[in-house]
Structure 1
Amino acid sequence: MSLSNRAKAILASLSIVITIIVSGQYIYYNKFNAYQVYMNGKPLAYVKNKEDFYNVEKNIEKDLEKRFGKITLKDDITFKEVSIKNENIADSSVIKNSIIKNSRTSIPTVLMKSDGREVGVLANESEMIKVLDIIKNEYKEKDKDGTFKLNNRITYVKQDTNIKDISTIEETIKIAKENPSNPLICFSKEKETNGVQNVSLSRSLSVTSFVSFPSKGTITSPFGMRWGKMHNGIDIGAPMGDPIHAAMDGKVVYAKWEDGYGKVIKIDHGVGVQTVYGHCSNIDVNEGQQVKKGENIGKVGSTGNSTGPHVHFEVRVDGAPQDPLKYLK
């Protein structure tokens, strides 16, 4: 082989080697090392592997389940192989925020309102009660000897809400207090009476009554006109199944279902005074039974015409409804 041909052969071999090396490097540096996630057809984030995304998605579902029960995110997820720098790969917190922000999943919630003004979107009535209790306790911490009542009319609307628009209890409390001069939710101190009230009876008799709250909770609706009709008692919001206590010593004269009230207990305290406990989930006393103040008589419920767990509490004098707050200790 001539020198010229040998040189050509060497150059050809070198060209092949260089091509292989360059091609190998190109393949090495351009092979995919991540996935681009698409949610409902839109780019969401870059992840190292598919499992990273699905693990975050499962954790979101578990967090929602604690408040709302079993939840499955309803989104179309696809992946595309990509080659990117490692610093562009999203961590779990970024993935979580992106999923919540872009998911089209909606779940049943309650929109909490105070005097018609929106406060927050929560899971259920129990979370609403917790919000009220926490705010009320802040008032109590400032004045441990005081008894406080809610100054607002609390209502709610059941609705389906996208997960990005759901409030936490902490966020709801913050919104309720963010304007100190005109808060969405506030309590005021009751006038001190030491629990002693003079109840005037139609037959010119009087009885000194020591009336205690029938349930731990927050007054969510006061005595008086409501929605164009007379509300003959107060509503005390409390968790489902919480105990209901007799407000005074007396005799159970009614313990069964009644239209509107659902499962209701009526206790006669003598000299024309009667207390009523409505919407019970369970009745734990019998008609004719004598009970003492503070004794468990039933459990908080939402039976009858009720929009959530609470005790409808009435004080009647000679059959006429009175404002229970005048007599409560």
Structure 2
Amino acid sequence: MDSKGIKFIKTFLLIFVVTIVFLASYKWSEYKLVYAAYIEDRCVAYSESKNKVIDVYNKVIEENKNIEIEGNIKFKRALAKKSSLNNYDSIIDNIKASLDKEIDCILLKIDGKSIGILRDKDEVDNFFTLIKEYYISINNIKTEDLISTSIINDIAYVPYKAYKSEIKDPEALYKIIREIDSNREKPIISVDIIYGIKEIENIPAPTTIITSEDYYMGEVKVEDSGEEGQKSIEKQVRITNSKVMSESKIKEQVIKAPKNKIIVKGSKNPLGTNMAFLQKPSRGSVTSNFGSRWKNERHHGIDIAGNIGEPINAALDGKVNKVGYDNIYGKYIKLDHGKGIETLYGHCSSITRKEGDTVKKGDVIAKIGNTGRSTGPHVHFELRLNGKAENPINYIK
């Protein structure tokens, strides 16, 4: 081969080598040595920075605490096209996609309605615990007083498959239910709570009444004021949500016995002493006194004015021994006070006691009226000793 041929071949080879080198260098300029990030053997990112991927990973994990991860994120060195490098948003999407797998879980149903998806029965129990604790708290029930709590709805645990992102943690589902219940009259979930309470109650001092001839009728002396006792009471209360359903006493114990109050009532006849032992039976004014009246008539009592329907009160402790009607007294009631002493109340519009009733001084026994021989509404009041009329005005306080 002559010199020209050799020169041509050399020139061709030089041009070929230069072209190959140029093409190779151009091709490799599209690639870069980077970090390939893997989660559970799935590549989620090509990045020049490990820290960038780790920051995104931690953020996603923080926002999806209910997602279980098998192992941590791993890195390998890899040659990748520059155009394949992932930006911030695409790394987030890839990590979420790698974590959001369809897994076995539980669909919780209450009274036939779907409430939410939880990981397993333990998580459902944790959710119910939060619901129970809410009602325990708002009813101010102490832990040591708590006997039992139970959900009284129809509960169904339905086996289910769902993506991890669809599964709620117990606290998140609790907040959702509380938000819904805040706008409902009847809560979605009802809790039955039984708890005990302890109370201290006062025991009233019993009263013992003694009669004594040392004092006149109408006189009362407190010989001993007595003293209240105390008892402890244990009760069991059942509520549903915040409504008391039942309350029962389970134990009662006297801590301090009460001391009797002793009252001495006089039984000595006060008539003839001018002692004021009677209460005025009506608040009106006396319009007719005891004694002689027109046409040689004798008034056996006093008249006290009033309005029809106003109360008539017992003038002294006693017992109803007669309720009746006649043309003079109209409707009347008569009380026996013992020692031969009686009082009579006439012209009543109505009688509020019956024969045999025991009454106390001041008790309402009838109502003012205008029955019988009467010129207007009033009460005719008589005081008798062994059937003989006495002037009551001398003994009225």
| TM-score above 0.5 | no
- The structure whose residues are more often strand, as a share, is 2
Normalising by the residue count of structure 1, what TM-score does the alignment of the two structures yield? 0.39
Normalising by the residue count of structure 2, what TM-score does the alignment of the two structures yield? 0.33
RCO comparison, higher one (Cα < 8 Å, 6+): 1
